[in-house]
Amino acid sequence: MRYLSEYRDPELARALLGRITSTATRRWVLMEVCGGQTHTIVRQGIDQILGGAVEMIHGPGCPVCVTPLEQIDRAIHLASRTDVIFTSFGDMLRVPGSETDLLKVRAEGGDVRVVYSPLDALELARRTPEKKVVFFAIGFETTAPANAMAVWRARELGVKNFSILASHVTVPPAMEAILESPDNRVEAFLAAGHVCAVMGWREYEPLAERYEVPVVVTGFEPVDLLEGILLAVRQLEEGRHQVENQYVRSVRKEGNFRAQEMMLRVFEPVDRSWRGIGTIPRSGLGLREEFSEFDAEMRFRLEAIRPSEPSECRAGEVLTGGIKPFDCPAFGNSCTPEHPLGAPMVSSEGACAAYFNYRRHQMATSSRAES
C-alpha cells in the first residue's frame, strides 16, 4: 500500500537509528503522548534498540485509559436501566468500573450495543423512539468533532431521545500537568499525529516556549517514530525548544478548521478528572448550555459518584510515565487482560496491554535467568 510500506522499511529504520545514536551525546528522556505510538514502540522494540541514546516513557495518550472510574460507573448505571439503549465503541465494554463492566451488564440483560460512529447511535434513536439512546462520548480532540456533529444533528432533526455521556479530554493541559509535576523527567514530547490533524500544532507552541521542551508532531509507523525521535534529539542537542512536524503527510499547522468549528460550537472547556491522575483544570470538553438537553448526566440526573481505585493498581503512575508496566506488582499477576484492575490493561492503546502482549514472555525469561 502506498505511504505504508516505506514507513516500515527496515533499511530506513536502521539509518535513522544510526543518526539518533550518533547525534545523542547523553541519554535524553522523551515521552510519546499517544497510546497508538506506545504500541508501535513496544511491539517493534524501538525503545530497546535506542540503547543509551534515548529513554522512552509512555504518556496518558489512551482515551479509554484516562476515562475516570466515576464516569465508567455512570455508564454502567445507565446501561442497566430498562428504558435505555446504551451505545459505545467496543473498547469501552471491558474497562472495569468499581464493581463490574459494560460487558457483564450486557450479559445480564442490559441493552448495550457497539456502534462504529456516534451517528449510528443517533440513527438508532430515530428508529427506536420508545427508548432513550445514550452514546458514551469519550476520546481526545480526534473524536470530539464527530460526537459534536451527532449532537448538532440531533437538535436539527428534533431527536429528543438521544443524549451523550461526555468524557472528552484534551492533550495540551495533560502535557502541562506532567511538566508541572515535581517528579517530571520529560525533556521532549512526541505529539500525537491524529490529534494534530484536527487541531494543528499552534496550541503546543506556548508549551514549548514556556517549559523549554521540544515538541515533535509524529506519526505512528516505525520510521515515523524514529524520525520524530531524531528531530527531538537534534533540538535537545542544539538547545532549541520548538514545535516541529514530522507527520507532514497528514498534519498542517492550522489543523482542520471545519472540524474545530463544529467541536467548539457544541463543546466548551471544563475541568475533567483523569483516571489514575486526578482533576486537570480545563482539560475536558463538556456540552455547552444550549445543548444541555442532550447531556445524559443532566437528563438522567446522575448523582456524583466517588468510587475508589483498587489499591494495588498503579495505572496513574504508568499513565504519567512515573513507572513502566513491569514495575507494577499487579502486572501479569492479579491484573491481566482477562481480569484487569485498570483500563491500561484492556484498552487497545493501553501501555499495560502493550507490555503484556509483547513483553511479558521476555520478562519471564529475564526473571528465570536472574534466578
* pLDDT bracket for residue 367 (50, 70, 90): very low
| Exposure b/e, 225-234, CB count within 10 A at least 16 = b | bbbbbbbbbb
- Percentage of the chain beyond pLDDT 70 is 96
Residue 366 above 50 pLDDT? no
Element (H, E) at 97: none
| Tens-place pLDDT, residues 109-138 | 999 999 999 999 999 999 999 999 999 999
Cell 504500541 belongs to which residue? 39
| Tens-place pLDDT, residues 222-259 | 999 999 999 999 999 999 999 999 999 999 999 999 99
- The average pLDDT across 258-269 equals 97
> Whole-angstrom Cα distance, residue 274 to residue 284?
9
* pLDDT bracket for residue 309 (50, 70, 90): confident
Write down the pTM of the prediction.
Answer: 0.92
Residue 363 above 80 pLDDT? no
Considering only CA atoms, give the Rg of the chain. Answer: 21
* pLDDT bracket for residue 306 (50, 70, 90): confident
Residue 276 above 80 pLDDT? no
Domain with CATH 3.40.50.11740 in the chain: 1-311
pLDDT at 362: 67
Q: Are 58 and 358 in contact (CB under 8 A)?
A: no
pLDDT at 21: 96
- The average pLDDT across 103-112 equals 97
> What superfamily does domain 1-311 belong to in CATH?
HypD, alpha/beta domain 2 (3.40.50.11740)
3-state SS class at 192: strand
DSSP secondary structure letter of residue 304: P
- Of the given ranges (6-10, 266-270, 284-288, 298-302), which has the lowest mean pLDDT? 6-10
* pLDDT bracket for residue 2 (50, 70, 90): low
> Whole-angstrom Cα distance, residue 125 to residue 115?
12
- The average pLDDT across 270-293 equals 94
| Tens-place pLDDT, residues 152-205 | 999 999 999 999 999 999 999 999 999 999 999 999 999 999 999 999 999 999
pLDDT at 303: 79
